[in-house]
Each structure stands twice: as structure tokens, then as C-alpha cells.
Amino acid sequence: MIEFNSQNEFKLDKEDQVLNWLNSVAEMENHQVGELGYVFCSDEYLLDINIQYLDHDTYTDIVTFDYKEGTVLNGEMYISTDRVADNAEQFSVSFDSELRRVMVHGLLHMCGFGDKTDEDAKLMRAKEDEYLKLWDERFA
């Protein structure tokens, strides 16, 4: 089960389609969704989490807490809607598209994909693009 919550005024559009899309991504990566929570929040809220739990004093678009058990995805993902808006403007994409990229990025981390090396980051970006295309083709 995937739940969406907000610590700010954000409201997710097309919630049912997003749920179906994320479940499809997990399945295509040979995982199943257990208990996943997406929490939408402000920069400051996520910065506090980043400092408290990861000892990183930087703004970020997502922090993922992975409690996966085998191939069952369990965890929490905190997404700064402020960062998503800034990134969307910087990369000349819509807010919704950038939000989906960040959401699937966190899910892919839980499926075992990294982004610390150039090679891993390239694969992560290719996977994000693949699943954004899936969204456009089947869920938009």
C-alpha cells in the first residue's frame, strides 16, 4: 500500500494514476509494494530531516528511508516540493514531470539502484526516463 501525506499545503494530482504507475514500476523491477509512504514537505522540513538523520546540512529534493524486506518495498520518502519546483524551473520541465521523476527516483533507490558513481547515476537517469515514458504512454 502506498500512502501520500503532506506537511505543507501540497495536494497530489492524479493520485490513483500515480499509485498504479508506482506499483507498475515496482513490479517491473521484480519488487512488490508493502508499506510505502510519500510525504510532501517544505525545504526547511526536509533540511531538518537531512541534518537529524543523515548528518547532511544541505537542501535536497528527496530523502528515502528504506526498510525493504527482500523484494517487498517498505519505507518512507520525504519530498521537498520547494526543491521540485526549483528543479523544474532549472531544467525547463513541468512541476508534475519533475515530481514524478523524484518519486520514481526514490522508488528505484529502494529497488537497489544507486547514484553515487557516474555509471550508477547514468543508469538511474535511464531508468527514470524509462518510467517517465511509461507514465506518458499508460497513465497520463
Range of the domain at 36: 2-139
Q: What is the pLDDT of residues 18-60, one digit of tens each?
A: 999 999 999 999 999 999 999 999 999 999 999 999 999 999 9
Question: What is the number of domains present in the chain?
Answer: 1
Task: Decide if pLDDT at 3 tops 90.
Answer: yes
Q: What is the pLDDT of residue 61?
A: 96
Q: What is the pLDDT of residues 80-132, one digit of tens each?
A: 999 999 999 999 999 999 999 999 999 999 999 999 999 999 999 999 999 99
How far is the C-alpha of 39 from the C-alpha of 7, rounded, in Å? 7
Question: Model's pTM, two decimal places?
Answer: 0.95
Q: Which residues are annotated as a binding site?
A: 105, 109, 115
Task: Decide if pLDDT at 140 tops 90.
Answer: no
Q: Which residues are annotated as a binding site for Zn(2+)?
A: 105, 109, 115
CATH number of the domain that residue 35 is part of: 3.40.390.30
Q: What is the pLDDT of residue 62?
A: 97
DSSP letters, 36-88, are: EEEEEE-HHHHHHHHHHHH---S--SEEEEE--BTTEEEEEEEEEHHHHHHHH
